[in-house]
Amino acid sequence: MASAESKIAGAITAVAVSIIVAFVVVPEIKEHRARAEINQMVKEFTEEMDLQSARAARANVEAKRRQQQLANAKEAASKLGPDQRCISGLVVRMRVQDGVPTYEQITRNGRPVRCVGNKRV
């Protein structure tokens, strides 16, 4: 049979272990869980930001592509056709009719279309 002193020592040890668990181990576990939760949130946030950056980059590339297409279309539209010439700053269509060259001034809304070189202005 255990002596009273060993029972008291056992009880004190049990109380000390309980105090250590309550004031050291439990807060450490809570802190560890909180850190893991924060790390998970940071990871999700970072992934979302990366996804948004990738979307923005794709949208930027697409906008530049559309802008280039528009610029190319404007450039192509401003060039004179193969049967058109720029004479004295005005666009003229040249046709051969019965072996005779004829010239017709090009107008837009009743006004002559202006040109420089081989481009409309």
**pLDDT single digits (tens) 11-28:** 888 888 888 888 888 888
pTM value > 0.85: no
pLDDT at 15: 87
- Within 13 Å of residue 8, how many CA atoms lie on the same side as its CB? 3
With residues binned 3-state (H G I as helix, E B as strand, rest as coil), the percentages for the chain, rounded to 5, are: 60, 25, 15
120 phi and psi angles, rounded to 5 deg: -75, 150
Asked if 73 contacts 82 with a C-beta cutoff of 8 angstroms, the reply is no
Contacts for 22 with CB less than 8 Å, ≥ 6 apart: none
